[in-house]
Amino acid sequence: MLNSPKQKLIMPKEFEQGLKEAFGEVIGGIIHSTLLKGFVSSGLLSPSFAFLIQFLGLLGTVGILLTIPSSGIGYVIGWYFGIFLLMDRGLLTIVDLILYLGFPLIGYVLKLYSTS
């Protein structure tokens, strides 16, 4: 009865939310980067302005990643699972992996020291 069409995979809400947000963050970043490159190559946007936009986007991403330690454990597991799945599929580089895993780790360390 495991293959019954009525059965659904039960996934904790926090895990599911973390997974969705990891996918959304990475896919949004890919779209953002692709659009910027297209605008620069077509001459609609100067490279220096594109760099500024990328930098501001990176700051926003870092801000989001630093809030992950205050999320529930299910969310965090879902987030990391999503990041590793995207890395496995070739959608993330090692630099992306360091960003997506390093900043939450910094957040955990800061949280640990602020509570002690």
Q: What pLDDT band is residue 28 in, cutting at 50, 70 and 90? A: confident
Ranges of each domain in the chain: 45-116
CA distance 44 to 17: 36
pTM of this prediction exceeds 0.75: no
Beta strands in 1-116 (DSSP E): none
CA–CA distances in Å: residue 77 to residues 32, 66, 68, 110 = 26, 15, 10, 19
Residue 92, C-beta contacts closer than 8 angstroms, at least 6 positions apart: 26, 83, 86, 100
pLDDT digits (tens, 9 = 90+) for 43-61: 999 999 988 888 888 888 7
pLDDT digits (tens, 9 = 90+) for 91-106: 888 888 888 888 888 8
* Amino acid symbol at 17: Q
Best CA proximity match to 81, nearest among 33, 36, 89: 89
pLDDT digits (tens, 9 = 90+) for 69-89: 677 778 888 888 888 888 888
